């Protein structure tokens, strides 16, 4: 590794570390979020138990058991708290609107890389402060649940893909403040599509087959359903689904880089 690459790596690591410390600073809010997550997990467990009890007790081919669905819902509750979301888009929009973005452009860190490192640091901090304790406290829902080496590796891969996709979505929405007057509508569209097509409402494998097969072709699925489906060993999450998610992560990252160049050129043309 050259000196230049080493300095860049150290810089991005410092940005991420600062965001970790910042996330750990807001302990009261994290405690409230953790309590809320546990309450929601309990409600979801009761809801899905009632849903499954209302059926004939059998699981259709390719479907999920009550235990798998409950784990999926519980993990999804923690997932939403930890991964990049609306806050990132709103922060970026606010800095663009009030001009603070100019000071960030003067930093020798790379604009897109800087925001990615900050989002990664925040995710790590919130996961340590909220995600891990909530998962441990709600662990009764997660057991018995085996994790072998191959499954753990696949879970790490799909989690990385999901993080990149969710970051790219939030970053692109925030960056659109260079081109549109308000981005709140885009945020609402993003949340609605994640709810309907991403699997945050229920596992995609429970959808009717035509809707399920169409949804898996969209990027929204791979920011939520794919990693959580991998966690619970959903049979629908196969190699093809993971490969689609990787392709979307690459395409959205390329779009983020291209839109960054276009946005910064617009800023310079407008007089900075």
**pLDDT tens sequence across 239-266:** 999 999 999 999 999 999 998 888 777 6
In the prediction, which pLDDT does 45 show? 81
Q: What is the mean pLDDT of residues 209-213?
A: 87
Whether 271 has a pLDDT exceeding 60, the answer reads no
- Supply 62's token pair: 């390719």
Tokens coding 40: 């929601």
What pLDDT score was predicted for residue 143? 61
Average pLDDT, the chain: 80
Considering only CA atoms, which of 103, 105, 95 is closest in space to residue 178?
95
Question: What is d(CA 103, CA 171) in angstroms, rounded to the nearest whole number?
Answer: 18
**What is the band of 272 on the pLDDT scale with cuts at 50, 70, 90?**
very low
Q: Quick one: pLDDT band at residue 3, thresholds 50, 70, 90?
A: confident
Residue 61, pLDDT > 70, answer no
Cβ atoms within 10 Å of 251's Cβ, excluding its own: 13
Q: Which of 64-73, 111-120, 128-137, 153-162 has the highest mean pLDDT?
A: 153-162
pTM of the model: 0.84
168 touches 225 (CB < 8 A)? no
58 pLDDT above the threshold of 60: no
How many Cβ atoms from other residues are within 10 Å of residue 146's Cβ?
7
What is the rounded CA–CA span in Å between residue 250 and residue 240? Answer: 16
Annotate 166-215 with DSSP letters as a single string: HHHHHHHHHHGGGTSS--HHHHHHHHHHHHHTSSSSS-GGGS-HHHHHHH
Q: Which two tokens stand for residue 61?
A: 């081919």
pLDDT at 46: 83
Residue among 87, 39, 74, 241 at smallest CA distance from 158: 241
Q: Which of 114, 254, 260, 248 is nearest to 174 (CA)?
A: 260
């Amino acid at each position: 590794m050259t000196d230049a690459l080493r300095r860049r790596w150290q810089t991005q690591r410092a940005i991420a570390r600062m965001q970790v410390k910042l996330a750990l600073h807001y302990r009261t809010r994290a405690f409230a979020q953790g309590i809320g997550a546990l309450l929601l997990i309990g409600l979801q467990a009761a809801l899905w138990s009632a849903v499954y009890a209302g059926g004939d007790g059998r699981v259709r081919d390719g479907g999920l058991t009550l235990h798998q669905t409950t784990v999926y819902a519980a993990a999804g509750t923690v997932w939403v708290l930890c991964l990049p979301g609306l806050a990132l888009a709103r922060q970026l929009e606010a800095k663009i609107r009030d001009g603070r973005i100019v000071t960030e452009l003067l930093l020798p860190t790379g604009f897109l890389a800087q925001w990615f490192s900050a989002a990664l640091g925040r995710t790590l901090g919130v996961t340590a402060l909220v995600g891990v304790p909530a998962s441990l406290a709600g662990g009764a829902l997660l057991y018995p649940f085996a994790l072998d080496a191959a499954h753990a590796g696949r879970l790490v891969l799909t989690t990385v893909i999901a993080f990149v996709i969710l970051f790219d979505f939030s970053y692109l929405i925030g960056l659109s403040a260079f081109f549109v007057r308000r981005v709140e509508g885009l945020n609402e569209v993003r949340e609605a599509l994640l709810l309907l097509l991403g699997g945050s409402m229920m596992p995609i494998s429970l959808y009717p087959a035509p809707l399920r097969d169409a949804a898996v072709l969209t990027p929204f699925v791979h920011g939520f359903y794919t990693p959580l489906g991998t966690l619970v060993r959903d049979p629908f999450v196969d190699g093809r689904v993971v490969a689609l998610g990787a392709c979307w992560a690459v395409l959205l990252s390329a779009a983020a880089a291209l839109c960054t160049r276009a946005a910064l050129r617009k800023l310079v043309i407008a007089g900075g």
